[in-house]
Amino acid sequence: MQPTIVEPSRSADSNPSTPAITGHCLCGAVTITVAGEHDPRVGACHCRMCQRWSGGLFLCFTADAAAVTVSGKFTRYRSSAFAERAFCPRCGSHLWFNDVEAGGEPRSYELMPGLFDAARAWPLRSEIYVDRAMASLRLAGEHRRKTRAEYEAENAFVDGDIE
């Protein structure tokens, strides 16, 4: 599963000029605009579910649900009791992951950074399930790292991740 890492809240007042950013899927059918609070850093997850979904490594950045506007048709896949993953049904681009309580609305989105030109310069914030990383995907650099045991000690996980 992915991190739903909530960074210490920054009041909108501290950065009133956060510019809106826009991204789109490969075919252009789905456009996502983030107008407002978002974390301009990327998180990575190497859990087994994310490896299967992404083909290797899941990357995301966090935005408040209130700041996110989606246009175009997308498909949601309920990957666990508490989470959904969305993709473009036309081109297959992955769009986001979010925690969704049964029958509830998402409070935040973990958006795929590759959809957004603005995210190309953003640094890596953190990495989880590092002990599950594929040999081809060991990420260098100074950022927070958590093993599966460390992450699951603090967060719910799903049986689908257990080999």
Binding site for Zn ion (CB under 5 A): 1-2, 25, 27, 29, 45, 47, 50, 88, 90-91
Closest to Zn ion by CB, 47 vs 67, is: 47
The least CB distance from residue 154 to Zn ion, in Å, is: 14
Which amino acid would we find at residue 41? Answer: R
> How far, CA to CA in Å, does 107 sit from each of 64, 65, 73, 89, 124?
6, 5, 20, 23, 23
Closest to Zn ion by CB, 64 vs 161, is: 161
> How far, CA to CA in Å, does 82 sit from each of 7, 42, 61?
20, 22, 19
Closest to Zn ion by CB, 21 vs 83, is: 83
- Tell me if residue 53 falls in helix, strand or coil: helix
Closest to Zn ion by CB, 6 vs 91, is: 91
The least CB distance from residue 49 to Zn ion, in Å, is: 5
The least CB distance from residue 30 to Zn ion, in Å, is: 5
The least CB distance from residue 50 to Zn ion, in Å, is: 3
Q: Any alpha helices (H) in the chain, and if so which ranges?
A: 48-54, 148-152
